């Protein structure tokens, strides 16, 4: 064994400091040093401000006090995503975190609900999703504090200030031995075998290492430019290629969900934090100019502008190989899928999880890189298919953009999932897949896809047992939610932001 002596992270921002924090935690007590190189001259994108429930698990695994983290990052709680105008103009649905209902006898709740609907039951699927009801009422409670109630089946994530997250995790990493080096990378020096040997900084300084992590954003200075790994282009399946982002003052109550509203040539987000709101419009430059996008977004904003609108061009796709030789690409350097389901930060820490699983020595056995690339490639493909799902099921044809979306190719892997679900509500769940039954069922139902029939085994349960359970559960859940504090009240009482952070 020739253990790694120094891991060098090129680039900071959210991706770089999540990586430094995780590695400094994983490598505590070892002789492996972690060094991060970043330049204050180079700005960061800083709009990845919505997370999903595994992010809470990450904080706990790092031993971070969740309450302290929320205060210092001005975070708010997120119970899911509210979609508006995606299926048709005037339509809406909710993608909740956590469970929908519970087993009835030995049968899956969704299948029991399908049978009840087939027999005329008036309920909606979201009537049984605790997170959806809490979101409707702008109420919040930590689910583990309500374990003996139906609210305990909810789950949650956070809305965060990306730059404050990077600052928080930088402090965490440096306290555990990670070193930050200020400097602009001008050149990357390689070894005779093509692997990376050192980062050459402006002024002549060099930072050498055994293993390098590319967090240089869309430039992908190491894996893309230096090692020559190309991008697998998905822009034929996902047509949006630009975003405009802006921050505004908060107005009204803080909604405990991310808002995603489909517009004429893409969609907009609103993410409320404790001290401000993040807003953006993801769109296709083929159908809309930057000026038109900014003007459209301005008509949707609430509150005074705190920043000038920033235009962010992007290409949807992933690196053909994220791990090449002795270098690993993370974050935007590895690929980009529009943030419709808030997966950007998740894919960073999933990649570090996989790196820990296939941790190399100085020889960087190609078999480890190959398995890492296979697994991360599958995760990116899964996220991409789930995002495509929102577009390919839309019935909108009111603009050339939406007409083009309806003509865009649907991946064979997604078509197989759709065919299986349409038959009898069966889902193809992989062992490590991010999106589980609740996610697929919520989007299918919200986008007008209901199975042709329910599974036959549900017939073994008397219909009266199912309908009585539904009739009892929905009002009980609403009553329990009514007894919870408002989202703003919970934030003020338990984790109010530190304004001077």
pLDDT of residue 425: 94
| Token digits of residue 444 | 């299918």
Q: How far apart are CA 337 and CA 347, in angstroms?
A: 10
Closest to 435 measured CA to CA, from 366, 337, 356, 368: 337
**Enzyme catalytic residues:** 78
Which positions of the chain have pLDDT values less than 70?
Answer: 43-48, 431, 499-501
**Angle 330-243-187 from CA coordinates, rounded to 5°:** 40
Angle subtended by helix axes 54-61 and 344-357, to nearest 10: 50
Q: Are 135 and 80 in contact (CB under 8 A)?
A: yes
pLDDT of residue 413: 95
pLDDT of residue 48: 57
| Token digits of residue 380 | 């990116």
Q: Are 164 and 247 in contact (CB under 8 A)?
A: no
Instruction: State the SS3 of 450-461.
Output: CCCCCCHHHHHC
pLDDT digits (tens, 9 = 90+) for 144-183: 999 889 999 999 999 999 999 999 999 999 999 999 999 9
Contacts made by residues 406-412, CB under 8 angstroms, sequence distance 24+:
408/236, 408/237, 408/238, 408/239, 409/236, 409/237, 410/237, 411/237, 411/381, 411/384, 411/385
pLDDT of residue 429: 75
Q: Burial-class residue 219 by CB neighbours within 10 Å (0-12, 13-18, 19+).
A: middle
Q: Are 375 and 354 in contact (CB under 8 A)?
A: yes
Q: For the sheet with 206-208, list strands across it.
A: 185-190, 196-201, 206-208
pLDDT of residue 501: 41
Q: How far apart are CA 41 and CA 113, in angstroms?
A: 56
């Amino acid at each position: 064994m020739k253990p790694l002596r120094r891991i060098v992270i090129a680039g900071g921002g959210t991706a770089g400091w999540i990586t430094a924090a995780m590695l400094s935690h994983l490598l505590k007590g070892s002789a492996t040093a972690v060094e991060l190189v970043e330049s204050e001259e180079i700005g960061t994108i800083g709009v990845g401000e919505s997370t999903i429930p595994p992010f809470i698990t990450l904080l706990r695994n790092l031993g971070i006090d969740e309450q302290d983290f929320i205060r210092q990052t001005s975070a708010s709680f997120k119970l899911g995503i509210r979609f508006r105008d995606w299926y048709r103009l005037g339509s809406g649905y909710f993608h909740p975190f956590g469970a929908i209902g519970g087993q009835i006898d030995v049968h899956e709740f969704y299948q029991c609900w399908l049978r009840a609907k087939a027999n005329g039951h008036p309920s909606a699927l979201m009537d049984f999703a605790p997170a959806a009801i809490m979101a409707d009422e702008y109420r919040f409670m930590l689910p583990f504090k309500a374990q003996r109630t139906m609210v305990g089946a909810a789950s949650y994530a956070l809305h965060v200030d990306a730059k404050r997250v990077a600052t928080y995790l930088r402090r965490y990493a440096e306290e555990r031995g990670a070193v930050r080096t200020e400097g602009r990378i001008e050149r990357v020096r390689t070894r005779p075998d093509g692997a990376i040997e050192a980062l050459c900084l402006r002024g002549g300084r060099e930072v050498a290492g055994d293993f390098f992590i590319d967090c240089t954003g869309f430039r992908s200075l190491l894996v893309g430019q230096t090692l020559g790994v190309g991008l697998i282009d998905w822009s034929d399946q996902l047509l949006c290629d630009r975003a405009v982002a802006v921050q505004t003052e908060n107005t009204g109550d803080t909604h405990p969900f991310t808002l995603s509203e489909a517009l004429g040539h893409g969609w907009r987000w609103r993410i409320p934090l404790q001290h401000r709101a993040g807003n953006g419009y993801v769109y296709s430059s083929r159908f809309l100019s930057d000026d038109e996008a900014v003007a459209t977004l301005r008509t949707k904003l609430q509150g005074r502008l705190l920043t000038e609108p920033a235009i962010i061009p992007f290409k949807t796709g992933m690196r053909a190989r994220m791990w090449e030789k002795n270098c690993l690409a993370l974050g935007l350097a590895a690929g980009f899928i529009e943030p419709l389901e808030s997966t950007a930060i998740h894919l960073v820490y999933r990649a570090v999880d996989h790196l820990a699983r296939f941790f190399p020595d100085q020889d960087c056995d190609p078999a480890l890189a190959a398995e890492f690339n296979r697994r991360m490639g599958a995760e990116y493909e899964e996220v991409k298919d789930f995002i495509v799902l929102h577009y390919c099921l839309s019935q909108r044809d009111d603009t050339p953009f939406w007409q083009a979306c309806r003509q865009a190719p649907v991946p064979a892997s997604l078509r197989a999932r759709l065919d299986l679900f349409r038959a009898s509500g069966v889902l193809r769940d992989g062992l490590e897949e991010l999106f589980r039954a609740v996610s697929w069922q919520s989007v299918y139902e919200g986008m007008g896809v209901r199975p042709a029939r329910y599974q036959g085994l549900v017939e073994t349960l008397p219909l009266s047992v199912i309908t009585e359970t539904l009739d009892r559960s929905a009002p009980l859940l609403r009553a329990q939610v009514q007894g919870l504090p408002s989202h703003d009240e919970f934030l003020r009482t338990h984790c109010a932001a530190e304004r001077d952070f």
